[in-house]
Amino acid sequence: MKVTGYGDECRRRWASPRWRVNVRLPFFLLLAGFCSAPMAAVAGRTVRGSLPAEPRQLPIAYFQQSPAPEGAPQAAPQHFTLTPEQRARAEAWARIGDITYVAGLLLAIALNLIFWLRGFGVGLRNLARRVSCRLIVKCLVIAPLFVGATALVNLPLDYYAGHLLERRFGLSTQTFASWFGDWGKTLALSIIAGAVLLWVFYGVIRRSPRRWWFYFWLATIPLALFVMFIEPWVVEPLFYKFMPLADSQPALVGRIETMLGNAGVDIPPPRILLMNASSKTTALNAYVSGVGASKRVVVWDTTLRALTPDETLLVLGHETGHYVLHHIAKEFALDEGVLLVIFYVGYRVFRAMVRRFGARTGLEGEGDLASLPLAILILTVLAFLASPALNGISRHYEHQADQYGLEVAYGVVPDPNAAAARAEQTLGVIDLAQPDPSRLKVFWLYTHPPVEDRIRFENDYHPWTGGRPMEFVRGSR
- Residue pair 49/283 in contact (Cβ under 8 Å)? The answer is yes
H or E element in which residue 39 lies:
helix 39-43
Smallest gap, in angstroms, from Cβ of residue 318 to Zn ion?
5
Measured from the Cβ of residue 439, the count of other Cβ atoms closer than 10 Å reads 9
319 is catalytic: yes
CA–CA dist 11, 101 (Å, integer): 9
* Part in contact with Zn ion (CB under 5 A); list of ranges 1-9, 34-42, 126-134, 210-218: 1-9
CA–CA dist 85, 320 (Å, integer): 34
- Residue pair 466/22 in contact (Cβ under 8 Å)? The answer is no
* Part in contact with Zn ion (CB under 5 A); list of ranges 3-11, 83-91, 157-165, 249-257: 3-11
Q: Which is nearer to Zn ion, 4 or 417 (CB)?
A: 4
154 binds Zn ion (CB under 5 A): no
Maximum Cα–Cα distance across the chain: 75
Count the site residues for Zn ion by CB under 5 A.
3
Smallest gap, in angstroms, from Cβ of residue 194 to Zn ion?
29
Q: Which residue is nearest to Zn ion (CB)?
A: 4
Smallest gap, in angstroms, from Cβ of residue 383 to Zn ion?
22
x-marked contacts with Zn ion along 387-426 as a string, rule CB under 5 A: -----------x--x-------------------------
Strands 296-300 and 286-289: antiparallel
Q: Which one among 2, 4, 31, 204 touches Zn ion, defined by CB under 5 A?
A: 4
Chain centroid, CA 274 distance in Å: 18
Beta bridge partners of 167: none
Distances (CA, A) of 470 to 266, 410, 473, 477: 19, 10, 6, 11
Q: Which is nearer to Zn ion, 4 or 320 (CB)?
A: 4
Smallest gap, in angstroms, from Cβ of residue 256 to Zn ion?
16
Handedness of CA 444, 448, 452, 458 (dihedral sign): positive
- Residue pair 328/431 in contact (Cβ under 8 Å)? The answer is no
Q: Is 436 helix (H, G, I), strand (E, B) or coil?
A: coil
Q: Which is nearer to Zn ion, 280 or 318 (CB)?
A: 318
Q: Which is nearer to Zn ion, 366 or 398 (CB)?
A: 398
Distances (CA, A) of 417 to 65, 310, 422: 20, 11, 9
Smallest gap, in angstroms, from Cβ of residue 6 to Zn ion?
5
Q: Which is nearer to Zn ion, 6 or 146 (CB)?
A: 6
Q: Which is nearer to Zn ion, 396 or 441 (CB)?
A: 396
Catalytic residue among 319, 331, 398, 452: 319
Handedness of CA 216, 218, 219, 224 (dihedral sign): positive
Burial class (CB in 10 A: 0-12, 13-18, 19+), 274: buried
Q: Catalytic residues, which ones?
A: 319
Using CB under 5 A as the criterion, which residues of the chain lie in contact with Zn ion when the complex forms? Answer: 4, 398, 401
